[in-house]
């Protein structure tokens, strides 16, 4: 996404897409009975969406793994966790935030104290990581 891409709409891919992606998401949301959008995209790709123009409640899960006694986002594991959550949502037909908080795959657990209405934090201990391998 960060590649320079001179085109009739701008200098890069973000300008190329403009509001096309956001408009498509809104059209698909309008065709459903659920106005919750779970953002499982990487930060880089989500920059192609215009969050303020979305007609939905936007929820972004954050996945943190313990390393040397501290929890942090480790991109390799966070990417895998986003994929696991996408599968979890589809397999369990998740339609609400409360059910999303029950995600407990590969050792990740919801942490209410570090979450809010827009961001759901899930953590995995070093021991759980070792068990998941």
Domain limits, the chain: 34-132
33 neighbors 96 (Cβ within 8 angstroms): no
Taking only Cα atoms into account, the Rg of the chain, rounded to an integer number of angstroms, comes to 17
For 71-114, write each residue's pLDDT tens digit: 999 999 999 999 999 999 999 999 999 999 999 999 999 999 99
Nearest to 49 by CA among 62, 32, 37: 37
Question: What's the token pair of residue 30?
Answer: 């309008």
Q: Look at the chain and count its residues.
A: 133
Environment class of 124 (CB within 10 Å of its CB; exposed 0-12, middle 13-18, buried 19+)? buried
What are residue 70's DSSP bridge partners? 67
CA angle 94, 95, 98 (to 5 degrees): 80
Euclidean distance between CA atoms 126 and 118, whole angstroms: 26
Question: What's the token pair of residue 131?
Answer: 């068990």
- The reported pLDDT for the residue numbered 2 is 67
Residue 50 has pLDDT above 90, yes or no: yes
Q: What is the mean pLDDT of residues 45-57?
A: 93
């Amino acid at each position: 996404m960060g590649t320079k891409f001179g085109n009739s709409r701008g200098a890069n891919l973000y300008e190329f897409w403009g509001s096309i992606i956001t408009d498509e998401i809104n059209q698909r949301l309008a065709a459903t009975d659920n106005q919750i959008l779970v953002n499982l995209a990487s930060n880089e790709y989500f920059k192609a969406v215009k969050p303020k123009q979305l007609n939905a409640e936007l929820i972004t899960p954050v996945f943190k793994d313990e390393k040397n006694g501290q929890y942090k986002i480790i991109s390799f594991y966070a990417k895998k966790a986003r994929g696991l959550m996408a599968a979890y949502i589809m397999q369990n037909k998740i339609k609400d935030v409360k059910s999303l908080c029950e995600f407990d795959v590969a050792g990740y657990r919801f942490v209410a104290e570090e979450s809010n209405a827009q961001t759901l934090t899930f953590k995995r201990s070093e021991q759980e990581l070792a068990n998941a391998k």
